[in-house]
Amino acid sequence: MIKRKIYDKLFLFFSVAAFLVAVVPLFSIIAYVVSNGLSVINLSFLTEDPSATGVGGGIANSIVGSFVTVAIASLVGIPIGIAAGAYISEFRSERYSRVVRFVSDVLLGVPSIVTGILVYSLVVLSLHTFSALAGGIALGLIMVPIVTITTAESMAFVPNSIREAAYALGIRRIRVVAIVISNAKGGILSGILLALARASGETAPLLMTALGSQLPFSGLLKPVNTLTLFIFNSATSGNPPLVSQAWGASLVLLLIVLGISLGVRFIAKGRYRYL
C-alpha cells in the first residue's frame, strides 16, 4: 500500500511538472506579445490600409487577405482531406488505401516552403503572377494531410456495430460511409480547426505564392498581403514604427489562432459521442 502511494505521488509530481513545462512557455509568449502589441491596436489600425510610404496606416488589407487565402485553402484542403480520410478508414482492403495513408504521413512532415515552391512552379508560373489563389492553394495542400489523418482516426473510433447495422438494412456502401462520417463529425471538425490554425500561421509558402502587397485586396489573381506576411516584412524591416506594428499584427493573429484552438477544445468535448 505504501509503495502504491509513493508511485501515485511521483506520478502526480511528474504530471504537474510536465504541465508546467508546457504551459509556462505558452503563457510567457502570450504575455510578451500582449505587452508589446496591445498599445498598437486601435480602430484605425484594424480598419485602415497601410500608408503609401509604408509607415503608418493599418492592417485591414492583411486581415482581408488572410481570410481570403484561408477560405481558398479550406475549399481545397477540407473536401480532399475528408475524402482521403474516409477512403483510408472505410476502404482498407482497397489496393491504394495504404498508399494514401503513407502519402498523408509523408506530406505531414514536408516543410511548408517546399509546398510553396511546388505551387510556385505549377500555379504562379502558369498564371504569370503571384496571387491570392496561389497562396490559398499552397495553404490548402498543407491542410490536406492534417484533415486526412484526423478524419481517418476519428472514423476508426466509430463502433463497427453502426456499420454492420447499416449493411444489414441493405444501405449502399457510399451511404454507410456518409453515416460513419456524420457520427465522427466531432473529431473531423477538430481536425479541420487544427488545420485552419496551422494554415493561418504559415508564412513561408505565401512568400512564394501570394508575395504580399500594400494595396487593398483587388482580386484572386492579384498579389495579396496577409497577417503573416505583414509581420514578417515589418519585423525584418529594421524600422521601429513598423516593428511596433508587427507586434500589433502578431497579437491580432494570436487572438485569431487562440479562438480557433478554443473552438477545437469545445468541439472535442463531444468527440466520442456517436449516438
pLDDT (tens digit, 9 = 90+) per residue, 76-117?
999 999 999 999 999 887 788 889 999 999 999 999 999 999
Share of the chain above pLDDT 90, in %: 62
Residue 38 covered by a domain: no
pLDDT band at 237 (very low <50, low <70, confident <90, very high): confident
Instruction: Look at residues 182, 152, 151, 150 and name the one whose alpha carbon lies nearest to residue 166.
Output: 182
Residue 104's domain is classified under what CATH number? 1.10.3720.10
Q: Is the pLDDT of residue 273 over 70?
A: no
pLDDT of residue 56: 72
Residue pair 150/188 in contact by the 8 Å Cβ criterion: yes
pLDDT band at 223 (very low <50, low <70, confident <90, very high): very high
pLDDT band at 10 (very low <50, low <70, confident <90, very high): confident
Residue 234 covered by a domain: no
Q: Is the pLDDT of residue 261 over 70?
A: yes
Q: What's the domain count of the chain?
A: 1
Instruction: Look at residues 23, 70, 63 and name the one whose alpha carbon lies nearest to residue 193.
Output: 70
Q: What is the mean pLDDT of the segment spanning 163-171?
A: 90
Residue pair 171/162 in contact by the 8 Å Cβ criterion: no
Residue 98 covered by a domain: yes
Residue 19 covered by a domain: no
pLDDT of residue 274: 38
Residue 194 covered by a domain: yes
CA-to-CA dists, residue 107 to 71, 143, 228, 259, angstroms: 21, 10, 22, 26
Helix, strand, or coil (residue 133): helix
Task: Give the domain range for residue 146.
Answer: 65-225+262-268
Q: What is the mean pLDDT of the segment spanning 235-240?
A: 89
Residue 273 covered by a domain: no
Supply the DSSP symbol for 216: P
Residue 70 covered by a domain: yes
Residue 69 covered by a domain: yes
**3-state class percentages of the chain: helix first, strand second, coil last, to nearest 5:** 75, 0, 25
Give the span between the Cα atoms of 150 and 38, in whole angstroms: 35
pLDDT of residue 265: 67
pLDDT band at 224 (very low <50, low <70, confident <90, very high): very high
- The pTM assigned to this predicted structure is 0.88
